[in-house]
Amino acid sequence: MYIHYHNCIFPQQTALPGGLVTLLPADGNQLKAIEPSYDGVPPGLLRRMGKAVRMGTGTALPLLKDLRPDGIIIGTANGGMEDCIRFLNQIIDYDEGMLTPGNFVQSTPNAIAGQLGLMTRNQCYNITHVHRGLSFEQALLDAAMLSMEHPHRNYLVGAVDEIADYNYNIDLLGGWYKKHPQENKDLYEANSPGSIAGEGAVMLVVNGQPEEAVARLRAIRSWHGTNPEDARTNIEAFLQQYTDGNIPLLITGENGDNRLLPYYETCEKLLPGSAVGRFKHMSGEYPTAAGIALWLTCRLFEGEALPHHFYKKGKENTAGPVLIYNTYKGEQHSLILLSKK
Amino acid sequence: MSRILITGIGAFSAIGDNVAANRQALISGQSGIRTLSNFPSRYAGSLPCGEITHSTDELKQSSGVDDPGVTRTSLIALQALREAIADAGLTPEQLRSSDTALINASTVGGMCLTDELYHDANNDGLAGSPFLSSYDNASVTLFLAQHLRIGGIQNTINTACSSSANAILYGARLLRHGFARRVIVGGADSLAKFTINGFKALHILSPAPCTPFDAQRTGLNLGEAGAYLVLEREEDCHDKKRYAHCAGYGNSNDSYHPSSISDEGEGPFLCMQRALEAAQLAAGDIDAINAHGTATENNDETESRAMIRHFGTPPPFLSTKAYTGHTLGAAGALEAVFSILQLQYQESYPALRFNEPIVSTGLIPSASYRSLPVTHIMSNSFGFGGNCSSLIFSAV
């Protein structure tokens, strides 16, 4: 599968080349997306959209101006969490009284793909993968299968999740965010459990055609389980099956949570010659954050130098393959291998 | 290309604890729509539902699960999944293998715990509940895979009311592409204040047991269920029991409105068309249809139009939602099981509570239990967000 176009809305400046050089700070352990003005979306419609739907459609629509994809495939763990809990609060606060359905309809995770189908009058394949920290990876696998079935057709693949106070609270109670104030520029120095919250949307247009592609998805693998040995076995098997061991750049999902560091260190040790990059100080942690790593790889392949703060070790300077390893809460893991051609 | 066979089925709904009990209820026209008995909602007395009568504690006991974070949805799913696995004769070694995939669907997930979620999400000073990682749709899949030690690809799909039809479709494609050798596909949802109030706010819940395709229909009844199918490639099946093969599937978007279907049923029409194309069948080859048939004003009329556009006079059809209620994320898989039973036993079930046809379309669903020669059966599922899917199962 080949990636041809990409777009991203996340907590850093994405519009201009070099916009990533200045790291924008987190506020209250949350990194919130920098949303554009969403020109072209009718204001009435925009007002009714929750943030996830807004970010998702706002990231996709610029890619769909002159292109009609034959499928809309979205990965999102929660979809419109804010609408979901707003409706929930109505139920409890008004003791199941007379409620308005707007939040309920917007709260279903398939609202992003559904809204995109509606706004672009697209009646093709339309699906939403919600497998928590592997939602985006499953969307990619779906698109990869479609690209093999119909190499000449274009597909839109997306990764979207939002921070709402509510999922922030639930994951805070679960111990997944830091209890003390944490600046994102020092995220990896904290040596404590938990990360900082993030959000974002990444959209890609893919097909089975190599001509003029930005990147090629060479392989993807996912697994479940907290055993670090499983991680080692899976990474080793993946490297053996799909690479010659030469991976100039490894991007990991390191997120400042010292409980997850051993997984990433395992991967780094298996690739001692690779430069290592990290991105969650830019995006924060969220279930479909691996999409950001993929989007950064596309920018790199297009010739943009990634900022100094991205690199943990060394600096990538060839067009060789890029490996992305991400784990969500140590329970869900994925490897994504990309190359320029 | 090797065919995709169904080698095991499991179902747990308001009309039965297993596949055999579900079939008995369908044969005898016994509805599971009743007043809620173990569900706290102010609508418990006024809005009938397809409720599974076992309490959550009973389900915990009967399944031997004592995990404090387990939800009703997961327990319902587990029972149906175990039946499907046993039916297909999958061994623990096969389940553990990295080529056994689990593709699950849910729209409610752990949100059946509406009150617990309220306290956790608003962080109202109480300590977190045991359910902090049990609310999302994926929690059901993760529980099932962990509990039964399923070793391959896992995925969770949510396309609202067509979710588990898409789980079946996705599982079949994983097999075709060689990403798995066997897949367990299906879905589960339980009744929740969240969905009852959501559909209530949309004014599409019926105060009486629902009457699909009837001119005087007054809306849908919600239900709860779990249903799973085991799919395997024919070349791997050898002398295994085989119920049917998954001949075709189609997915489309109606692209009309977030919560209702276009007048001419464009999305339903397209997904049926794509399923027929994938199965390389003509409309006239379809012997029976399991309709989506929610009994809302909008669905039944637009679905009828889409069926008429394809079939002229459609083959025998009915909506089993009059028996089970609309089981949301489980519906596509539950009705796939019912369709497979029709194929297996060459029979058709009675449509319940139907009196007079919709004036503009005039379609009349199957009236009584009877034997019916079925070689190809179509099952339809349409959801919010315009998500429409159609599946075709064929005799082997």
Percent over 70 (pLDDT), chain A = 99
Q: Is the pLDDT of residue B94 over 90?
A: yes
> Which positions ≥6 away from B45 have C-beta within 8 Å?
B35, B36
Q: What is the pLDDT of residues A100-135, one digit of tens each?
A: 888 888 888 999 999 999 999 999 999 999 999 999
Q: Do B132 and A169 touch (CB under 8 A)?
A: no
CB contact at 8 A, A231 and A39: no
Tokens of residue B21, six digits: 């009990």
Which of A89, A98, A110 is closest, CB to CB, to B158?
Answer: A110
Q: What is the average pLDDT across B361-383?
A: 97
Contacts of A131 in chain B (CB under 8 A): 138, 141, 154-156
pLDDT digit string, tens, across residues B23-82: 999 999 999 999 998 888 899 889 999 999 999 999 999 999 999 999 999 999 999 999
The three-state secondary structure class of B253 is strand
Tell whether the model's pLDDT for residue B124 goes beyond 80.
no
Distance CA B315, CA B318 (A): 10
In the predicted structure, residue A184 carries a pLDDT above the cut 70: yes
What percent of chain B shows pLDDT beyond 90? 89
CB B224 within 8 A of CB B371: no
Test A134 with B155 for CB contact under 8 angstroms.
yes
Provide the pLDDT for residue B277.
Answer: 98
Min Cα separation A129/chain B (Å): 5
Which residues of chain A neighbour B114 with C-beta distances below 8 Å? 88, 91-92
Question: Residue B253: which of A100, A117, A172 has the nearest Cβ?
Answer: A117
pLDDT of residue B349: 98
Interface test with A, best of B106, B132, B158, B260 (most A CBs within 10 A): B158
Closest CB from A109, A123, A129 relative to B155: A129
Closest CA to B328 of B229, B186, B233: B186
Query: Average pLDDT for residues A257-266, to the nearest whole number?
Result: 98
**Count of CB atoms situated within 10 Å of the CB of A315:** 13
Residue with tokens 């784990």: A327
Average pLDDT for residues A234-241, to the nearest whole number?
97
Answer whether residue A17 shows pLDDT above 80: no
| Confidence at B121, pLDDT banded by 50, 70, 90 | confident
Which chain B residues are within 8 Å of A84, Cβ to Cβ?
111
pLDDT of residue A102: 87
Altogether, the residues listed in chain A come to a count of: 341
Q: What's the pLDDT band for B3 if we cut at 50, 70, 90?
A: very high
Q: Note which residues in 56-75 of chain B have CB less than 8 A from chain A.
A: none
How far is the C-alpha of A59 from the C-alpha of A8, rounded, in Å?
A: 6
Task: Report whether pLDDT(A69) > 80.
Answer: yes
Q: Give the pLDDT confidence score for residue A317 in this predicted structure.
A: 66
Separation between Cα atoms, residue A96 and residue A77, nearest integer Å: 27
Measured in angstroms, the CA of B108 and the nearest CA of chain A are apart by 9
Instruction: Judge whether residue A268 has pLDDT over 90.
Output: yes
In chain A, residues 139-168 whose CB comes closer than 8 Å to chain B = 141-142, 145, 148, 165-167
- Rounded average pLDDT over B225-247: 96
| Higher-pLDDT residue of A210, B37 | A210
Percent of chain A at pLDDT > 90 equals 83
Q: How far is CA A305 from each of CA A309, A310, A318, rounded to the nearest angstrom? A: 11, 10, 11
Q: Which residue of chain A has the CA closest to B171?
A: A142
Q: What is the pLDDT of residue A41?
A: 87
CA angle A330, A335, A340 (to 5 degrees): 150
pLDDT score of B205 more than 90: yes
SS3 A30: strand
| pLDDT over 80 (residue A318) | no
Residues in chain B with CB shorter than 8 Å from the CB of A96 are: 41-43, 193, 196-197
pLDDT tops 80 at residue B16: yes
Of residues A72, A114, A134, nearest to B384 (C-beta):
A114
Give yes or no for B126 touching A (CB within 8 A).
no
Query: Distances from the Cα of A143 to the Cαs of A136, A153, B99, in angstroms?
Result: 10, 11, 20
Q: Residues of A numbered 183-222 whose beta carbons fall under 8 angstroms of chain B's beta carbons: which are they? A: 222
- Flag if B142 and A145 touch (Cβ within 8 Å): no
Q: A17 — contact with chain B (CB < 8 Å)?
A: no
Assessment of whether the complete model's pTM goes beyond 0.95:
yes
Nearest to A152, CA basis, from A4, A295, A299: A4
* Predicted confidence (pLDDT) at residue B162 exceeds the cutoff of 90: yes
Exposure string for A259-278, b = 16+ CB within 10 A, e = fewer? ebeebbebbbebbeebbbbb
SS3 content of chain B, % helix, strand, coil (to 5): 35, 20, 40
Which of B114, B258, B386 has its CB closest to that of A126?
B386
Q: How far is A13 from chain B (nearest CA, A)?
A: 30
Contact B384 A129 (CB under 8 A): no
pLDDT of residue B115: 84
Please name the member of A96, A109, A141 whose beta carbon is closest to the beta carbon of B137: A109
Residue B149 Cα distances to A50, A262, B104, B143, angstroms: 37, 24, 15, 10
Contact B170 A174 (CB under 8 A): no
Confidence of residue B86 (pLDDT cuts 50, 70, 90): very high
Contacts of B47 (CB under 8 A, 6+ apart): B36, B196, B200, B205, B206, B207, B221, B222
Give the pair of three-digit tokens for residue B111: 């949100």
Average pLDDT over residues B287-302: 97
Select the more confidently predicted residue: A63 or B116: A63
Decide if B200 touches A, using CB distance below 8 A. Answer: yes
A288 shares contact with chain B (CB less than 8 Å) = no
Q: Which residues contact A281 (CB under 8 A, 6 or more apart)?
A: A23, A184, A185, A187, A188, A256, A309
CA B322 to centroid of chain Cα atoms:
14
- Of A106-115, A195-204, B224-233, the one with minimum mean pLDDT is A106-115
Which residue of chain B comes nearest to A110, CA vs CA?
B159
* Helices and strands per DSSP (H, E), number in chain A: 11, 11
Beta bridge partners of A325: A252, A335
Burial class (CB in 10 A: 0-12, 13-18, 19+), A331: middle
pLDDT of residue B260: 92
Per-residue pLDDT at B125: 66
Q: Which chain B residue is nearest to residue A118, measuring alpha carbons? A: B255
What local confidence, expressed as pLDDT, does residue B165 receive? Answer: 98
Residue B14 C-alpha, separation from nearest chain A C-alpha, in angstroms? 24
Reply yes or no on whether the pLDDT at B238 is more than 80: yes
- Using the Cβ of B266 and the Cβ atoms of chain A, whether some distance falls under 8 Å is answered with yes
Average pLDDT for B12-18: 98
